[in-house]
Structure 1
Amino acid sequence: MASSSTKKVFSLLSCDWIGFDLDHTLIRYRLLDLHKLIYESMREYLIDTYEYNCDFLPISYNDHFSVKGLIYDINIALHGVNRHLTNEQIKEIYPDALKDIEEDTSKRFLCMFTYFDHSISYLIGNIVDLIDQKILYRNSSKNEIDLENKYRFFLTHLNKGSEYLFYDFNRGNYFSSLRLNPDKYIYKRLDVPQWLEKLKKLNKKLFLATNSSFNNTDLLTRYAFGDDWKDLFDLIIVVCKKPSFFSNSKKRSFHRFIDENTTIPVNNEDIIKDFNKNYIYSFGSSEDLHFIMSQISKKDPLVIYFGDHIKSDINALKCYTNWLAGVVIEELEFDSPPIIIHRTSHHLSNRLSINDQSYNKGNRSKYFSSFFTSPTDSFIFDDDNTNQTKSEQTEPDAVLPSLTSYWYAYITKHAHLSLSCLSVLANHFDLDHQFEHDQQTQHFVIMHQNNK
């Protein structure tokens, strides 16, 4: 074991700016109820809009089917809900799965990255089965299955459904259900705002950067944190369009938010000048934001950003910025990465969910293996050729042990630290706590240990 003088450590107090995503990071959902709401809303949309067969598309959501991180192969779709591939078949069809998926440019693979995709994967599985049985549409429908794009054409229907249900705060069953009954879908999180206030008292600058609209952000945070939630942050950015917010592929200037229909373009100097006025902003880019932070801090700041989306938050952030990436993986509450098993014990770190069986039930699958482990060979990551400044902060890529799942390998490559919930930091660690790198993966896994 390396001596204490050579161990790599990390502390939040070393950061000048600390940023957060909204959904599944600052806001924590009651997942089983959320999954049912999304499934039922999308099912109803497909039946009403595209005349899907309501007699065969299951009415009830199967909370034991999905797991976060499922990958749908658009070209083959070898199984839906009722047919399963063996591990041997998977190895034969995808001999180099990591490379095939990560380097795919044909959009062959659809990855279910978030809990919002969770119940959609169950819909996709059932739709594939109905396509194979040639009973996707109701008998009276004139719609026909597109045989040339047999397992791809219906994704357009799902995309249209997502736009209808999730992109307009005043339309559809999803947002109306959240407005009418927020306690059914969202946890109150009084420990997190208290933790944020402690960080601010230590002169840490805090920012929120989310793809959500202001109305949705206000609804969620007002319920979870209280009416004064905006006072917790030094900068608030909504509709920031990640991952292009990080990649600058469609660089947008910041706009000052007035209301959902009115924004005013502003430049970086305007934001710096008005920093203490607590304006809300939209769009923008991480490049401009870093410049703004450097001017306010009067130095090149060390920045960490916490998010849950493996691609939009973590991968894009590492590839295009020199910020540190913290990924929130709720599965850490009931499952362990392979490097942690038998070495440390942990419990459900978020006290809200210790006795909440619906939370655990909504995350476990009887169809798919663990989010962290799978019966495959070791994954080996090569150097990603990031520039010197970025590689100094992101650390070398890793050789991970056998039984490591694709997504755990991916997270270990792109994120600097992972934790199950912000409540772990809020409740179990002092603000100046120094976390040690795992010596094998060069990655911080923050887990709360039971006292024995």
Structure 2
Amino acid sequence: MTTDPVRGIFTNRTLNLRSIKAIGYDMDYTLIHYRTDDLEKRAYEITRERLSRRDWPVDDLVFDPSSVVRGLAVDLELGNLVKATRFGYVIRASHGTRMLSYEEVRKAYAGTLIDLSESRYEFMNTLYSLSEGNLFAQLVDRYDAGQLPGVRSYYEIAEAVQTALDRTHVEGTLKAEIHANPDRYVVPDPEVVRALLDQQHAGKHLMLITNADWEFADKMMQLAFDPYLPRDMTWRELFPTIIVSSGKPGFFAHDHHFYRVVDEENALLKPHRGKLEDGSVYYGGNATIL
């Protein structure tokens, strides 16, 4: 039997799944796939509106999905987007939206290795980075042209864009639009459901660990999963452990406490100590306790 490589599951080392007892999944862009250009365009537009309210000249800016990709690094010191090799050598770069020549790249980065642990760099490692990278590059152009009065550095531009984009994703406008019009934003994928059913039948303990809040996560999982599950089964029966508002990547490094959602209708929380109970919904927490 041949397998479509696009639909395969890959690891970067030999992995014996017999020894794996539990598997955790993110929701957005993992279990649920979105029409990236449409979703990131709308996120860009809402974020642009927020920046416009700061009297920044952004109303004429347009989202360009082809201008950035995942895997780039943002150089906050020079206002550049850079593509580096696995060893940290810069091979291509743009300043704002303008591609730099070979000589300009060599002059800026000769003897410099991109170290993502340094505060100078931000790694664009998710599809959410597309709208953020677009706005940052375009605003670098405006800053260089003297059109952002009061802004003193590229760091400030990046912070303003990230703060506005975070609010776009946390607050309700974009979420409400996704839920109201799933055909526009969500890619149906029954094969994801079948893969998880196979893992469940193989005895794996499945966990949903998402940064989304409970209300949004429940609505989206119902939309994406329930139509493809066996009759009378819901998505919650696939995931004995459900953690929302997890705060990743801090979830893996911090020691935040878990809260149990005791009233799912109103998202009321109660501090939780001890083992997580199957079938309950938890808020926050950290990987060590899990």
TM-score by length of 2: 0.80
1:93 to partner: Cα distance = 2.3
Map Cα deviations across residues 80-126 of structure 1 (whole Å, 9 max, x no partner): 11x2213443344224554x42341xx21122221112022111111
Who is 2:40 aligned against?
35
Asked if the contact 2:65/2:130 (under 8 Å) is kept, the reply is no
1:245 maps to a residue whose letter is: F
2:109 maps to a residue whose letter is: Y
Higher RCO (CA-CA < 8 Å; seq separation 6+): 1
- Which of residues 257, 260, 274 in structure 2 aligns to 1:256? 260
When residues 74 and 18 of structure 1 are mapped into structure 2, their CA distance, relative to the original with a 3 A threshold, is same
Q: In structure 1, how many angstroms separate the alpha carbons of the residues matched to 2:281 and 2:76?
A: 40
Map Cα deviations across residues 331-382 of structure 1 (whole Å, 9 max, x no partner): xxxxxxxxxxxxxxxxxxxxxxxxxxxxxxxxxxxxxxxxxxxxxxxxxxxx
User: Quick check: 1:157 aligned with 2:171?
Assistant: no
Whose Rg is larger?
1
Asked if the contact 2:76/2:158 (under 8 Å) is kept, the reply is no
Who is 1:85 aligned against?
100
Say which SS state the counterpart of residue 42 (structure 1) adopts: helix
Q: In structure 2, how many angstroms separate the alpha carbons of the residues matched to 1:44 and 1:189?
A: 32
Aligned residues: 256
Who is 1:245 aligned against?
251
When residues 187 and 103 of structure 1 are mapped into structure 2, their CA distance, relative to the original with a 3 A threshold, is closer
- Which of residues 128, 145, 152 in structure 1 aligns to 2:150? 145
- Which of residues 115, 126, 129 in structure 2 aligns to 1:101? 115
Who is 2:65 aligned against?
63
1:288 maps to a residue whose letter is: I
Listed as ranges, the gaps of 5+ residues in structure 2 are 1-12, 81-94, 228-233
When residues 219 and 95 of structure 1 are mapped into structure 2, their CA distance, relative to the original with a 3 A threshold, is farther
Same amino acid, percent of matched pairs? 28
- Which of residues 11, 26, 29 in structure 1 aligns to 2:31? 26
Matched ranges for 1:49-60 at <5 A? 49-54=53-58, 57-58=60-61, 60=62
Who is 1:232 aligned against?
238
When residues 111 and 10 of structure 1 are mapped into structure 2, their CA distance, relative to the original with a 3 A threshold, is closer
TM-score by length of 1: 0.53
Q: In structure 2, how many angstroms separate the alpha carbons of the residues matched to 1:96 and 1:183?
A: 49
1:186 to partner: Cα distance = 0.8
Aligned-residue Cα RMSD (Å) equals 2.1
Q: In structure 1, how many angstroms separate the alpha carbons of the residues matched to 2:267 and 2:250?
A: 22
Q: In structure 1, how many angstroms separate the alpha carbons of the residues matched to 2:211 and 2:23?
A: 17
Say which SS state the counterpart of residue 289 (structure 2) adopts: helix
Asked if the contact 1:193/1:232 (under 8 Å) is kept, the reply is no
Q: In structure 2, how many angstroms separate the alpha carbons of the residues matched to 1:97 and 1:261?
A: 49
Map Cα deviations across residues 402-426 of structure 1 (whole Å, 9 max, x no partner): xxxxxxxxxxxxxxxxxxxxxxxxx
Say which SS state the counterpart of residue 131 (structure 1) adopts: helix
Say which SS state the counterpart of residue 177 (structure 1) adopts: helix
Q: In structure 1, how many angstroms separate the alpha carbons of the residues matched to 2:203 and 2:45?
A: 45
Asked if the contact 1:253/1:284 (under 8 Å) is kept, the reply is yes
Q: In structure 2, how many angstroms separate the alpha carbons of the residues matched to 1:244 and 1:164?
A: 18
Who is 2:21 aligned against?
16
1:63 maps to a residue whose letter is: P
Per mean C-alpha deviation after superposition, the further-off stretch among 11-20 and 208-217 is: 11-20
Map Cα deviations across residues 214-246 of structure 1 (whole Å, 9 max, x no partner): 122122211111271111112111111222221
Q: In structure 2, how many angstroms separate the alpha carbons of the residues matched to 1:244 and 1:61?
A: 29
Q: In structure 2, how many angstroms separate the alpha carbons of the residues matched to 1:159 and 1:102?
A: 17
